[in-house]
């Protein structure tokens, strides 16, 4: 196969995943959280990670998953979390968008 036959893959490295919910520094009282973001053109999948209490000093990574949908539902214990999402395609990926989340009763 020659170079002219290669399918061009869109470079998404300078794109940002737009978060719909929960927004940064949200405080929720429901332990079932629906993480939602705007689908990014040319992205094939998304990597979502959730850390307790944050990625810098993680006591636990409670989720690390790759999705093709633009939402994900997870039941979390009460506590302080940080979550992040990045878009991925065959050749490129965006930087993580990182947000803080607090779940209390």
In the CATH hierarchy, which fold is given to the domain comprising 9-103?
A: Immunoglobulin-like (2.60.40)
| pTM across the whole model | 0.92
Asked whether the predicted pLDDT for residue 38 surpasses 60, the reply is: yes
Average pLDDT, the chain: 94
3-state SS assignment for residue 4:
helix
């Amino acid at each position: 196969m020659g170079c002219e036959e290669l399918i061009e893959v869109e470079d998404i490295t300078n794109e940002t995943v737009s978060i719909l919910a929960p927004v940064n520094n949200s405080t929720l009282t429901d332990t079932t959280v629906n993480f939602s973001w705007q689908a990014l053109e040319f992205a094939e999948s998304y990597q979502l990670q959730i850390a307790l209490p944050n990625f810098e000093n993680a006591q636990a990574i409670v989720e690390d998953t790759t999705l093709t949908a633009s939402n994900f539902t997870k039941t979390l214990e009460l506590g302080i979390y940080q979550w992040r999402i990045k878009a991925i395609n065959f050749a490129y990926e965006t930087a993580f968008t990182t947000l803080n989340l607090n779940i209390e009763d």
